[in-house]
Amino acid sequence: MRWTSWLPRRTSLRIGLALGATVAVAVPVAFAAASDRPAGQRTAPVPPSAEAPVATPSPSARPKASPSPVAKPSVTLDMDGWYSWAIIDRATGREYGSTNRGQTRFSESVIKAGLAAEFLRRADASGEEPPAYRMDQLRRMIRDSSDHMADQIWAAIGQEDGSRAIFRNCRMTDAGVFPDMWSQTYVSARDLSRLADCIADGRAAGPRWTPWLLDEMRNLRGIGDFGIGYAVAADARARVAKNGWFLHADHRWQVNCMAVTDGWALAVLTNYPERHGIRYGGSICQKVAERLLPTMALLRG
């Protein structure tokens, strides 16, 4: 892909609190990219941890599998900023990740995959056929990361109530909502890895629409096409992905990535100073995935 095409969609900044001091770190973590916001949205402070955890039911039972062949993976990167990552062995359900994988940041546009899944799950449960204009909204929200389309879909699922349904269904135990803002959903890296797993196994969107949603996530285009998939380009299944990005008023980028294959689900969150630009976050997502390639090779489904 041509990184030179990566330009922020919106340069207006919103009021926010600093997400952290600028520091150089070498810990197990990960990177992603920004997302534009509808005009008039406020910027919420990022908590050191999630809101009160949402009570969730036990996840769907997985078929018993032999013990994972994976030794506890680790990732060490030198970067100017903060990152976290989490990966799920989809055969066993085992979760691995950085020590800070439970810390929350704003989801940005990654959560659009969850919004689409919840809309489609409800359509499946009701037996209704979504009208053509709704399917077009979903497609543009996923492929092009359209925030305007996300506003429409989020309203259709009941806004915060729809978000909480996603948390329950996909056992996103660190997640929390922020009033009137889908883009500022609080999520952790482990939340997003669980969301990716939940979308891939059909719990999120239901049996009818899951193949359709996965295909849309294989066809990201424009500014939102970056990250994990470029570390594992030989594995076409890794193109099932969604990314998010935004430059906040404190002059720090929040860039997030998630991707899923038959064998694994991976998520990376990043936060770093404005001077590095959006490409820095995308490169961190890719580098985290590259460090995990030996692990991924063992998780082929």
Q: Answer yes or no: is 216 within a domain.
A: yes
Q: What is the DSSP string of 208-225?
A: TTHHHHHHHHT---GGG-
* Whole-number pLDDT of residue 69: 55
Q: Which residues lie closer than 8 Å to 242 by C-beta, 6 or more apart?
A: 109, 110, 112, 113, 142, 217, 220, 224, 257, 258
pLDDT score for 16: 37
- Domain-embedded: residue 61: no
Whether 54 maps to a domain, the answer reads no
- Of residues 48, 170, 49, the one with CA closest to residue 110: 170
Q: Are 26 and 76 in contact (CB under 8 A)?
A: yes
pTM for the full model? 0.78
pLDDT 10s digits, 16-47: 333 333 333 343 333 333 344 433 333 444 44
Cα distance between residue 223 and residue 234, in whole Å: 21
Q: Which residue range forms the structural domain that includes residue 193?
A: 3-38+69-298
Give the pLDDT of residue 82: 97
Q: Which residues of the chain have pLDDT under 50?
A: 1-61, 63-66
Residue 64 in domain: no
Return the CATH number at 30. 3.40.710.10
Domain count, the chain: 1
